[in-house]
Structure 1
């Protein structure tokens, strides 16, 4: 099967900017209290169900995986970009990171207690999101939890430059109500939702959803 253009472009772009991205965003989760609060709730819900194995999908340099591990979860990461995976492996050698795509997760059915996709569905076109969410649900145990973080809005922005490098990235901003509806259609029950205003240096509001299978 031919790989969709957006996957090839996203992989190539993040391979190109991995080092610069890491230099700018290292430690960013420590400056985001709302993000940490939502992830803390997600971790508590996962721990309460007993299966603490969690995947961070779109794990990038590994910051969120590291944070989830600190919250008591048995976490591993999957990312499309080989350079991001290698960077995460060097930074956090006690956590497993693998290459892979959320559009075709190679995971056992019903094996995970949780899935976290933190600002990683933002590059996926709308018509492919239902399939992504269906794949998430298949990988979760019954009653397992999914946590999503994303920029809130209704526009698409294309970037052909990032961190001083040529890239080709589409960013999709979506309302929590839209994403919640897609999750419901995929068989999830939305448990919690939140939005926050843009912090300094940000351009949009941010949305958060926790759902259970």
Structure 2
């Protein structure tokens, strides 16, 4: 039997609510140790500032540490997360920033209002059959030419593969397959990066895809 799409959302929200304080503590200074990630986020921030088509939304923002990092890079940014407890922590930690409870597949935003979207290890929990609808929603709220940056775990020489994320079920994606899926939704690839896990991280390769909403499709 196929799991209803709403069921995994409830499971994911409850799982992150349960570990929110511990998770926030674990990732608080994570970016300090990953210069490659900081470099790519800086490039994304520059594109968002230059394009100037609207604010950036971090979708699946968790406790807000990457949202705040983008703010420090001069980006007009806000965060959205499925977990109410995560949003409470984000608001308490970064009271100068806007954070909202919401789902990435049904954003309370008008068409074309965002200049950029950051999805940093958030679509990893989306069942693969549902991901095209998420990309369609991302495309809907992005302005033409707006950028989407995805962070995820890569599946090397394998199809899409579920794994035990410790919080809740997640999926590793072949980077070509994920790029193709985003392309089918109307995004053009700008660049990609893969990095090996650093010491202390789970032994999975990390993938990044930078995409742009195809202006020719409106």
Shared fold (TM-score, shorter chain, > 0.5): yes
Structure with greater proportional strand content: 1
The TM-score bracket by the shorter chain reads over 0.9
Work out whether residues 51 and 146 of structure 2, in 8 Å CA contact, stay in contact via their aligned partners in 1: yes
The equivalent position to 2:25 in structure 1, one of 23, 26, 30, is 23
Q: Any unmatched runs of 5+ in structure 1?
A: none
Q: Cα distance, 1:6 vs. partner?
A: 0.9
Work out whether residues 54 and 113 of structure 2, in 8 Å CA contact, stay in contact via their aligned partners in 1: no
Q: Which residue of 2 aligns with 1:198?
A: 197
1:129 lines up with 2:131 in the alignment: yes
Find the aligned partners of 1:171 and 1:206 in 2 and give their Cα distance: 13
| TM-score in terms of structure 1 length | 0.93
Q: Which residue of 1 aligns with 2:43?
A: 41
Task: Map Cα deviations across residues 46-74 of structure 1 (whole Å, 9 max, x no partner).
Answer: 11112351000000000110011011111
Which region of structure 1 is more displaced relative to structure 2, 88-97 or 21-30?
A: 21-30
Structural RMSD (CA): 1.3
| TM-score in terms of structure 2 length | 0.91
Q: Which residue of 1 aligns with 2:9?
A: 7
Find the aligned partners of 1:207 and 1:52 in 2 and give their Cα distance: 26
Find the aligned partners of 2:86 and 2:7 in 1 and give their Cα distance: 19
Q: Cα distance, 1:158 vs. partner?
A: 3.4
> Structure with the greater relative contact order (CA < 8 A, sep ≥ 6): 1 or 2?
1
**Superposition pairs for residues 85-124 of structure 1, below 5 Å?**
85-124=87-126
**Superposition pairs for residues 163-174 of structure 1, below 5 Å?**
169-174=168-173
Work out whether residues 122 and 150 of structure 1, in 8 Å CA contact, stay in contact via their aligned partners in 2: yes
Q: Cα distance, 1:3 vs. partner?
A: 5.8
Task: Map Cα deviations across residues 145-201 of structure 1 (whole Å, 9 max, x no partner).
Answer: 001111111421135xx5xxxx6x111011211110011000001101110111112
1:57 lines up with 2:63 in the alignment: no
Work out whether residues 197 and 204 of structure 1, in 8 Å CA contact, stay in contact via their aligned partners in 2: yes
Q: Which residue of 1 aligns with 2:216?
A: none
Structure 1 runs of 4+ with >3 Å offset: none
* Matched pairs, number: 205
Q: Cα distance, 1:128 vs. partner?
A: 0.7
The equivalent position to 1:155 in structure 2, one of 157, 161, 164, is 161
Q: Which residue of 2 aligns with 1:145?
A: 147
